[in-house]
Amino acid sequence: MNKKVSLKDIAKAVGVSTALVSYVLNNKEKEARVGKEIAEVIRKKAAEMNYQPNQLAKSLKSGKSFTIGLILADISNPFFANIARTIEDEAKKYNYTVIFGSSDENAEKSQDLIDVLIKRQVDGFIIAPTERAEAQIENLKKAHIPFVLIDRYFPKIQTNYVITDNFGAAYQATQHLIETGFGAIGMIAYKNGLIHMKERVRGYKQALKDAAHGKSSLKEVTYEMASEEIQDKIDELINGKQKIDALFFATNTLSIHGLKYLNSKRLKVPDDVAIVCFDECDAFDFFYCPLTYVKQPLIQVGQRAVNILIDKINHPEKAEEQVSLASDFVIKRSSIKPTN
């Protein structure tokens, strides 16, 4: 059969040792003082035989795989897919390849993925960590494996991370609703201990407090049952004693589920309830009322994460870097007080 061409094959074909071939094909002719003519012959033969170096062997020898492990919650969520895309592109610039996996916000799956990728000798990780992943992250630290967290991080662990200023963005969003004149502002968030979610909630509450705007109406749903639970929560907010007239969704998926339910209840945006979303989403383009949203700088998050990771890979002694990026806030009609 058609076995793959190795250095040895070329060496045999030309009639020299593999060392010479290696030097030539790695452009180390100068240092290794390889004869000019033989170098040409080797180069020609390699091309002719369509030689492709075995990266596994190279990595084994060098201890560097030029591979980044990427662990996200779910690649089919556009938020993560866009980050993945950026990370892939950015990594390619430095000749790195990306292997990714979806954790589904599940700490065991996340650990499995980390193990698989460590066995594959990735040079480092970019991870959007799940709840209860503190131990995994501590272990990576202990093992001195470079990594950068994105989207979330653990305040108790000193790590590299690139996030967006969730508190600030949520504060701004809530403040905007207050200033626009809405009286009772509800929020729907995921029920979990992850910092990005906590910060969004904190921003919302702080904004209400600073404006002495009554007490907060926060409702939380689980990741697994979001689309069902959100319906009850919205009902409670709508029918509760402090009937809300504005609603802040903490993520794009919550927005989609929530808006669908509002549609099904024939509640009009912004007349019956004003809306602000965290993150954007293709789907928003087709909502009858243009939606106000927090626009996270996804591309910068991805690029910074890659840059910091590669820097850390090449300079393991460097101190951890923490980056918090500001979001844009895009105001559309969904959060404008209807004139009546």
The footprint of DNA (CB under 7 A) covers 3-4, 6-8, 15-20, 22-23, 25-26, 28, 32-36, 38, 51-54, 57-58, 60-63
The single residue among 99, 157, 331, 336 that binds its own copies, judged by CB under 8 A, is 99
Nearer to its own copies, 117 or 201 (CB): 117
Our CA angle for 253, 257, 258, nearest 5°, is 110
**End-to-end CA, the chain:** 80
> Under the criterion CB under 8 A, does residue 267 sit at the interface with its own copies?
no
Shortest spacing between CB 278 and its own copies, in angstroms:
16
Nearer to DNA, 18 or 227 (CB): 18
Binder of residue 74, out of its own copies, DNA, none (CB less than 5 to 8 A by kind):
its own copies
Reading phi first (left if > 0) and then psi (alpha if -120 to 50, else beta), residue 163 is in beta
Shortest spacing between CB 33 and DNA, in angstroms:
4
> Under the criterion CB under 8 A, does residue 88 sit at the interface with its own copies?
yes
Residue 60: Cβ within 10 Å count = 12
Neighbour-count burial of 89, counting CB atoms closer than 10 A to its CB (0-12 exposed, 13-18 middle, 19+ buried)? middle
Reading phi first (left if > 0) and then psi (alpha if -120 to 50, else beta), residue 66 is in left
Nearer to its own copies, 43 or 85 (CB): 85
Shortest spacing between CB 313 and DNA, in angstroms:
17
Binder of residue 120, out of DNA, its own copies, none (CB less than 5 to 8 A by kind):
its own copies
**Do the beta carbons of residue 170 and residue 202 sit within 8 Å?**
yes
**Do the beta carbons of residue 329 and residue 167 sit within 8 Å?**
no
β-sheet bridge partners, residue 164: 325
> Under the criterion CB under 8 A, does residue 62 sit at the interface with its own copies?
no
Q: Dihedral of the CA atoms 323, 137, 171, 209 (nearest 10)?
A: -130
Stretch that binds its own copies, among 38-46, 90-98, 149-157, 221-229 (CB under 8 A): 90-98
The single residue among 75, 107, 238, 267 that binds its own copies, judged by CB under 8 A, is 75
Neighbour-count burial of 75, counting CB atoms closer than 10 A to its CB (0-12 exposed, 13-18 middle, 19+ buried)? middle
Residue 7: Cβ within 10 Å count = 19
**The tokens of 169 are what?**
């963005």
The single residue among 17, 97, 242, 314 that binds its own copies, judged by CB under 8 A, is 97
Binder of residue 282, out of its own copies, DNA, none (CB less than 5 to 8 A by kind):
its own copies
Shortest spacing between CB 306 and DNA, in angstroms:
24
Shortest spacing between CB 214 and its own copies, in angstroms:
31
Stretch that binds its own copies, among 26-34, 36-44, 78-86, 202-210 (CB under 8 A): 78-86
Stretch that binds its own copies, among 10-18, 89-97, 218-226, 326-334 (CB under 8 A): 89-97
Neighbour-count burial of 76, counting CB atoms closer than 10 A to its CB (0-12 exposed, 13-18 middle, 19+ buried)? exposed
Mark residues 277-316: x for contact with its own copies by CB under 8 A, - for none: ----xxxxxxxx---------------------------x
Question: Where are the extended beta strands (E) located within 241-288?
Answer: 246-249, 274-278
> What number of chain residues touch its own copies (CB under 8 A)?
52
- Three-class SS string for 162-197? EEECHHHHHHHHHHHHHHHCCCCEEEEEECCCCHHH
Read off the DSSP letter of residue 273.
Answer: -
Shortest spacing between CB 195 and DNA, in angstroms:
35
**Chain residues that interact with its own copies, rule: CB under 8 A:** 1-2, 4, 52-57, 59-60, 65, 74-76, 78, 81-82, 84-85, 88-89, 92, 97-102, 115-121, 142-144, 256, 259-260, 263, 281-288, 316
